[in-house]
Structure 1
Amino acid sequence: MGIKKQLGMGVMTAALGLSLIGGGTYAYFSDNETTNNTFAAGTLDLAVEPTQVIEVDNIQPGESMTRDFELQNNGSLDINKVLLETDYSVIDDQGDNTDDFGNHIEVTFLYNADQLNEVVYETTLAELKNMTPEAVNEEVFMPMLGEDGLESGTGDDLVVEFAFADNGEEQNQFQGDSLNLEWTFNAQQTNGEDN
């Protein structure tokens, strides 16, 4: 056998060996499965009922009125914290105010309407406006709602007393004035859990 034939046979043997090795890598058993997975985010849905807590005409120094409202958790997640932001504007009827009307409106958060002497926290609208929402949560909502907050699908009645404080001095500057109060409630979820 000549050298050409030997080289030709060697090349063909090598090609056959490579094709068997390459073809052999696909000759194993296999199987696969596909899983379908879902991540659905929960919801926070804080509602306040009624949406207008108080509307009073012709209030005078020394008068007070009690109002109750309900915080409702209509979402699928528990609410850990309720933060309250207070804002108000005063319409000075005569333009003669030397003091903020909000300093003379006292706000008292009470445990319930049946026992009005159980005070949770007492302040003025002006002080409440300057408090951080976190401070309001610690002073007002944690004592009222408890450390667990507001569970999904539940509600809690809250009672607030508003009073036009009689400071024993002339308060004529507030005659005809009005104060428009805006409360913004902000719900925050509880910490997540490892499942």
Structure 2
Amino acid sequence: MGIKSKLTAGILTGAMAISLIGGGTYAYFNDVEVNNSSFAAGTLDINVAGNDAANAIIDVSNLKPGDYMLRNFKLNNTGSLDVSKVLLTSKYTVADANGNNAGADFGEHIRVKFLHNYDKNSTVIYETTLKELGKTDVVNNLYSWYGERDGIKAKSSDDLVVLFEFADNGKDQNVFQGDSLKLEWTFDAKQTEGTLK
């Protein structure tokens, strides 16, 4: 077989294959629609505004037994989601000025009273010592029938009043002279339950 015969046979084979492929297709109506969906998570964003420019809730010196300090602070929910509760975790460290505390804890002598939440119209929400103040919900403990319900709505805030007192126990508290206490409060905002969207 010459080169012309081989080329002719190859072209005929290709033509036959194309005709078989074309004969095996079917025509039908078709409609395609693409739907694009999106999921965007909301935000929980809580921040605290205290009494002074540095946003500290309390910063005092020269305390003696019996002294007390009244402080206001605002819990702001600047996020897009409602907050169901705000858990406060309290930690502190004591600097023993004279090294003579002999196991006494300055935190046991600092009383904390969460007196009022203006948005919930509640009074005396919670009272304890710094040592005993572990984790507590600071926006849901008490509310009255005419106050705001639990939590903090998105883009709103709760205004709280707290009283700190260096409790005078009527005994010798000289071991605390010159001592200092550094207090760290962490506010942990929790989301509300999921709902049908």
TM-score class, shorter: 0.7 to 0.9
SS in 1 for 2:99: coil
Tell me how far 1:22 sits from its aligned partner: 2.7
Q: Is the 8 A contact 1:69 1:157 kept in 2?
A: yes
Task: Work out the CA distance in 2 between the residues paired with 1:23 and 1:109.
Answer: 80
Tell me how far 1:91 sits from its aligned partner: 0.5
- 1:104-156 Cα deviation digits (max 9, x unpaired): 0000001158xxx931111000001xx3x3xx11xx43125765301000001
- 1:75-103 Cα deviation digits (max 9, x unpaired): 00011111111110000000000200000
Q: 1:151 to 1:69 in 2, by over 3 A?
A: same
* Structure 1 stretches of at least 4 aligned residues deviating more than 4 Å after TM superposition: 18-21, 144-147
Q: Is the 8 A contact 1:90 1:177 kept in 2?
A: yes
- Identity among equivalent positions (%) equals 53
Which residue matches 1:39? 39
- What code does the residue aligned with 1:32 have? V
Which residue matches 1:82? 86
- What code does the residue aligned with 1:36 have? N
Higher relative contact order (CA 8 A, sep 6+): 1
Which residue matches 2:180? 178
- What code does the residue aligned with 1:95 have? G
Q: Is the 8 A contact 1:111 1:144 kept in 2?
A: no
Which residue matches 2:29? 29
Which residue matches 1:143? 141
Choose from 60, 63, 66 the match for 1:62. Answer: 66
Using structure 1 for the length normalisation, give the TM-score. 0.79
Q: Is the 8 A contact 2:139 2:158 kept in 1?
A: no
Larger helix percent? 1
Q: Is the 8 A contact 2:98 2:178 kept in 1?
A: yes
Gaps of 5+ in 1: 1-14
- 1:37-70 Cα deviation digits (max 9, x unpaired): 2111111110100220001110100111100100
Across the aligned residues of Structure 1 and Structure 2, the Cα RMSD in angstroms comes to 2.3
Task: Work out the CA distance in 2 between the residues paired with 1:185 and 1:23.
Answer: 68
